[in-house]
Amino acid sequence: VISCMGAGGKADPTRVHISDLRSASKDPLATSVRQKLRYLWKKEQKDTGEQNGKKSGDESDYWLSCIDDDSKVAIVYSSEKVVAKLAQITDEQKEEGLHNFGAMDNMRVRVLPVVGTMPAIMGQTLAAMALCELGGKPFRPVGAERVGRNVRHKLYQHLCNREKKIEQKLKSTVTDQNRNTSNDPE
């Protein structure tokens, strides 16, 4: 099973990750799905009287194996915190009745803004996973190392200093060109 988690309100493509459902972090939708699947699995075990997660072997129970072992659910998610808030409900919408703005019952009325590139990036990643799986090619994404605050700060300072040097060189080049242009007789 492969799935794509929420892209709404996110903008940083460098925070897109591929992992199993169990190891997804900082994604509220992934957390919610994981909790709901575990709840359904425990309920199914209780209803059927199964012990220790043993399944009947029926093909219709395949999705239950994904619930039992959420490492079988591959997901694409973003670890970025949401950068946009839900769109506010306008007074006109309130007057017309909030039930008129949902596509179905109990659906969220307000919209979470989406940066256009994020769903596309996550969709392409999901498609690559699916095609590799269908083609029998191994798809083993490499997890990135977590970068600590001190390393991030040093890197940021290095980039700021580099930008200042580039800016100074650019200013001196422009100044030199202006001097040469003003000294040239026409």
Q: Is the pLDDT of residue 180 over 60?
A: yes
Residue 176 sits at the vertex; the CA angle it makes with 168 and 159, to the nearest 5 degrees, is 15
Please write the tens of the pLDDT for every residue from 136-178: 888 777 765 666 788 888 988 999 999 999 999 999 998 888 8
Q: What is the pTM of this model?
A: 0.55
CA separation for the pair 119, 78 (Å, rounded): 11
Q: What Å distances lie between residue 179 and 48, 119, 165, 184, CA to CA?
A: 87, 50, 21, 9
Share of the chain above pLDDT 70, in %: 72
- How far is residue 102's CA from residue 80's CA, in Å, rounded to a whole number? 27
Nearest-angstrom CA–CA distance, 186 and 175: 19
